[in-house]
Structure 1
Amino acid sequence: MDSTILVLAISTIAIVLIFEYTNGFHDAANIIATLIASRAMTPVQSVLLVAFFEFLGPLLGGTAVADTIGTFVSLGDIDRVLALTIVLCGLIGAIAWNLLTWWFGIPSSSSHALVGGLAGVVMVAAGSHHVAWGFSDLLHGHLSGVAKVIAALILSPIIGFGIGYLLHKIMLRLLRGAHPSINRDLRHLQYVTSAGLAFSHGANDGQKSMGILTLVLLLGGFIPTFAVPFWVIVACSLTITLGILSGGWQIVRTLGFSIYKIRPLHALDSQMTAASVIFSSSLFGAPVSTTHVVASSIMGIGASERPKAVRWGKATEIATTWVITIPGAALMSISCYLVIRAFV
C-alpha cells in the first residue's frame, strides 16, 4: 500500500477520534446541565452516570445514523490521497468550530459542524456533485443525503419544543396540589431519565464518527464495502465516553441557568423529551443535534409555564449560532484545505 495513503489514513482516523472526544465534552453539558441545575446530582455523580450509559449507546444503538453520515459525500471515484485529505480537512474544520464555541460557552451543534465541514471542503476540492444532496429524492417524498440530515436537524428542535411544551402542561396538571416533598421523588426519577438521555445521545452522536471512520477505511482501501467494523464501534464508544468525563462546564451554565430557571420537574420533563426525540431519530437513521433538542425542550417547558420568564435573548443567541455553524465550519475546513494545498 502507498505509504502516503497509509499515513493519511492513520492521521485521519486519529482526527476522527479527536472529533469524537470533542463531541463528548462539548455535548456532555447537554445531558448533565439539567441534572446539576435541578440539584438531582452532584457534578461528579452526574458525569459518572452519564458516561456509563453514553458508552452503551454506540454499542447497542445500531448503525443507521452511521450509514447516513458515511454516505452523504461520495469520494470513491477520485484519487485516494485527495479523498482522504478532504475528509481530514472537513474534520479539522468541525473540531475547530467545536473548540471555538466551547471556549465561549455557546451550545452549538457538533452535527452541524461535521456536516458543514465536510460538505464545504468537498464542494471546493472535488465539486458539488460529490455531495449527495438528496433534494431530487425529496421531491419524490424520499429523504436521503444532505436533505435528510438538514431535515432532521431542523425538525428535531421544533419537535423537542412542542413535546416539551405539551408534556410539561400535562405534568403540571397531574401534579397539581402535590406536596413540595414530591421534588425529592422527581430528582430520583432523573436517574432513569438522564440515563435514557445519555444512551440516546451515544446511540446518535457516537454513530456520526463511526460513519466517518468507516468512510476513511473504505477510501483508504482497508475494507471492500461500507460496513461498520466492531472495533470502530468500540473505539468511538470509548472516545466519546472519555469526552463526557471531561465535561463542558461553560455550556452547563448556559443550558442549566441561562435559558430558564430549572427545577426538578422541568429537568425531568426536559430529559424525557430529549431522550424520546433523539432515540426515535436514531432508529430512523436521522442524525440530530442533542444541543438543539435539549435547549429547545427547555424553551418549550419554560414557555408552557411562564413565557415571560424564558430568557429569549439567550435563546436568540443560541439560535443564531445554529444558523452560522454550518457555514462557519465549512469556512474553517476550506481554509485548512487551502493551507495544505499551498504547502504540499
Structure 2
Amino acid sequence: MEPVLLAALSVLFFFSFWNGFTDAANAIATVVATRVLTPIKAVALSAAGNFVGMFFFPTAVAVTMGEGIIRSSLVTAEILIAALIGGLAWDVLTWWFGLPTSESHVLVGSMIGVGVAAAGTDAINVSTILSKVVIPMVTSPTIAFIFAFFFTAAVMRLSLKSSPMKVNRYFSHIQLASSFFFSVTHGTNDAQKVMGLITAMFITYGYLSTFHVPLWVAFACHATISLGTLFGGWRIVHTMAHKITRLRPYQGACAETAAAVVLATTAVAGAPVSTTHAISGSIMGVGATRRFTAVRWGVAKSIVVAWILTIPLSAFFSYITCRVFMLAEIIVY
C-alpha cells in the first residue's frame, strides 16, 4: 500500500478516535447527570456500545459520506488529508472552549471545502447534501425534542401514584439499557462516516471495484471511536449534562431513548446526523416538561450557534488547506 494511503488512513483513524474523545461522551451525559453511573463506568458502557454498533445497522451512512457529498472520483488520499486537517482545526477550537460541536457536520463541511477548492462548485452533490444533511440537521433535534417531551409527559402521568423513590429506582435500571442503546446508535452513525471515506478512497485507487465496506475497516473505525470514548471528553459531558437542564433517572431514560430512536432511524436512512443535535434536543424536551424556564436556553443558544458555524467554518479551513496543498503541488488537478 502506498505511503500516502497509509498517511490518509492514519489521519482518518485519528479523526475517528477524536470523534470518540469529544463527541461520544454525549452518550453518557444523562446517565452521569442522573447519578445512575459514575463517569468511569458510564464511559466504559458507552465505549462498549460504540463498538457493538457495527453489528446491527446497514452501511447507508457510509454510502452517503463516500459517494454523496462530493464527486467520488475526487476522494484521494491527499484530498482526505487536507479535509481532515482543516476540519480538525475547527474541532480543536470548539473542544478547547468546551463547546459541543458536530463531528458529522465537521466532516461534511470539510469535504465540501476541499471539493470546491479542487474542482469548483460542480463537484458538490447539492441534492444529497440538502436531503441527507441539511434537512436532517434541522429536523433531528426538533423531532428528538418533541418525542422526549411527550414521552416524559406520559411517564410522569403514569407515575403519579408512585413514590419518587420507587420511580427513580425503577428507571435507574431502565436507564442502563437506554444509555447503552444510545451508545450503539451513536457508534454506528459516527463510525460509518469515516468508513465511507476510507471505502471511497480505496475505490479511487483501485483496491475495491464497488462500494462495500471491508470488515476490517468497519472493525477499525468502531474500535478507534470506542478507544476515544475511553479517553475523555469531560468538558463536553459537563456542558451537556449539567448546564442545559438537571435530570432524574426517568428523565435521563426518556432523553436517551428519544435520541437513540432518532439516530437509529437516520442510520437506516443514510443521513449522517449529529449525536450532539439529537441528545441536546431530547434533553431540552425533557426539561420543558417541567416548565420552559427549566431549560437553560442561554447555553442551548450557544450550542446552536456552534452548530450553525460548524459546516461553513470547517469548509473554510479545509478549503484553505487544500489550496495550500495545491500551491505546494501536493494535490495536482
On whether the aligned pair clears a TM of 0.5, the verdict is yes
Spell out, residue by residue over 1:71-114, the C-alpha distance to the aligned partner (whole angstroms, 9 max, x if none): 12444556x8xx43222211222222222211111111100110
Q: Whole-Å Cα distance in 1 between the matches of residues 129 and 248 of structure 2? A: 39
The residue correspondences of 1:7-18 to structure 2 (distance < 5 A) are 7-18=3-14
Residue number among 116, 140, 155 corresponding to 1:171 in the alignment: 155
Q: TM-score, normalised by structure 2?
A: 0.94
Shift of 1:146: 4.7
Q: Does 1:86 align with 2:79?
A: yes
The residue correspondences of 1:293-304 to structure 2 (distance < 5 A) are 293-304=278-289
Q: Whole-Å Cα distance in 2 between the matches of residues 27 and 145 of structure 1? A: 22
Aligned to 2:235: 250
Q: Tell me the SS of whatever aligns to 1:207.
A: helix
Question: What RMSD over aligned residues (CA atoms) do the two structures have, in Å?
Answer: 1.6
Letter in 2 for 1:303: A
Spell out, residue by residue over 1:116-154, the C-alpha distance to the aligned partner (whole angstroms, 9 max, x if none): 0110121121111111111xxxxxxxxx34532222222
Aligned to 1:259: 244
Letter in 2 for 1:286: A
Q: Does 1:119 align with 2:112?
A: yes
Contact 1:23-1:98 at 8 Å conserved across structures: no
Q: Whole-Å Cα distance in 2 between the matches of residues 307 and 145 of structure 1? A: 33
Aligned to 2:291: 306
Which sections of structure 2, spanning at least 5 residues, go unmatched?
A: none
Q: Whole-Å Cα distance in 2 between the matches of residues 77 and 248 of structure 1? A: 35
Contact 1:15-1:91 at 8 Å conserved across structures: yes
Aligned to 1:141: none
Aligned to 2:122: 129
Letter in 2 for 1:251: I
Shift of 1:13: 1.2
Q: Whole-Å Cα distance in 2 between the matches of residues 131 and 178 of structure 1? A: 55
Aligned to 2:261: 276
Q: TM-score, normalised by structure 1?
A: 0.91
Aligned to 2:132: 148
| Mean CA deviation greater in 94-103 or 167-176 | 94-103
Q: Whole-Å Cα distance in 1 between the matches of residues 153 and 130 of structure 2? A: 35
Aligned to 2:276: 291
Q: Tell me the SS of whatever aligns to 1:329.
A: helix
Residue number among 233, 244, 265 corresponding to 2:218 in the alignment: 233
Aligned to 1:24: 20
Contact 1:12-1:216 at 8 Å conserved across structures: no
Q: Tell me the SS of whatever aligns to 2:289.
A: helix
Spell out, residue by residue over 1:251-290, the C-alpha distance to the aligned partner (whole angstroms, 9 max, x if none): 0111000011122122111111111110111111111100
Q: Whole-Å Cα distance in 1 between the matches of residues 17 and 50 of structure 2? A: 12
Q: Whole-Å Cα distance in 1 between the matches of residues 54 and 229 of structure 2? A: 14
Q: Tell me the SS of whatever aligns to 1:305.
A: coil
| Mean CA deviation greater in 12-21 or 89-98 | 89-98
Q: What is the aligned length? A: 328
Q: Tell me the SS of whatever aligns to 1:178.
A: coil
Aligned to 1:193: 178
Q: Whole-Å Cα distance in 2 between the matches of residues 126 and 84 of structure 1? A: 16
| Mean CA deviation greater in 6-15 or 334-343 | 334-343
Residue number among 299, 302, 311 corresponding to 1:326 in the alignment: 311
Letter in 2 for 1:131: I
Which sections of structure 1, spanning at least 5 residues, go unmatched?
A: 135-143
Q: Whole-Å Cα distance in 1 between the matches of residues 72 and 308 of structure 2? A: 30
Q: Tell me the SS of whatever aligns to 2:100.
A: coil
Shift of 1:50: 1.3
Letter in 1 for 2:153: K
Q: Whole-Å Cα distance in 1 between the matches of residues 263 and 284 of structure 2? A: 17
The residue correspondences of 1:210-225 to structure 2 (distance < 5 A) are 210-225=195-210
Q: Whole-Å Cα distance in 2 between the matches of residues 92 and 67 of structure 1? A: 22
Instruction: Among all aligned residue pairs of Structure 1 and Structure 2, give the percentage whose two residues are the same amino acid.
Output: 39
